[in-house]
Amino acid sequence: MTSLNHYALGAVVDWMHRTIGGLSALEPGYRRVRIAPQPGGGLTSATLRHDTRHGAISIAWALENGAVSVGVVVPEGVEAEVVLPLHPEGDSAIMVGAGEHFWEYALAEGAAERRSYSLDSTLRQIADDALAWKLFTEAFSAHYPGVPLDGSAPEAAAMSVRTMLDFVPGASEQLRSDLTVALEAASQGA
């Protein structure tokens, strides 16, 4: 048996939960959560179950035959902000309470290939796009001048921006907002 308490394995599981499954806590004890799965890298489906003190949170998504399906189970006492992946209308958040929730929608033409960046994008994804990296690092440097960022460093490449900000001392809401604006501009090719 392998212990997931070791950082080398636990970090992988944490990344899979936050990125592939899209689950992150917005409040202590998972009273409020964000569910924002990120299909990509050849993955066409994933399921996630995470036990909390309120009960199990479950997430399942799939890309099949030009359609996206997303199902979530939210336990009593938990509120979830759900961001539907590759939605034709963009990354609008839907707030849901306890219960089983299901969405199915057609995948917009070329949506799987579209480059869209958000705080849930990994540093590698952003660094691989010259414009996105330029806009991202300019926004970051306005708050932390002289602090270097390396989106290809092994310890950072698979980390989402949202996760990275958890490790930045004093990361303000203004920094999050500025990075969001920069990534939205990069998504539009501005």
pLDDT one-digit tens code per residue, 100-151 = 999 999 986 665 555 788 898 888 888 888 888 889 999 999 999 988 888 8
Give me the CATH number covering residue 76. Answer: 2.60.420.10
Residues 91, 127 within the same domain: no
Final residue before a domain boundary, out of 63, 78, 106: 106
Would 118 be classed as within a structural domain? no
Q: Are strands 32-35 and 79-83 parallel, antiparallel or unpaired?
A: parallel
- Dump pLDDT digits (tens) for 171-183: 899 999 999 999 9
Domain residues for 152?
A: 123-187
In a domain, 97, yes or no: yes
Same domain, 98 and 161: no
Give the domain-ending residue among 106, 133, 155. Answer: 106
CA distance 141 to 147: 7
Residues 85 and 135 in one domain: no
Is pTM beyond 0.75? Reply is no
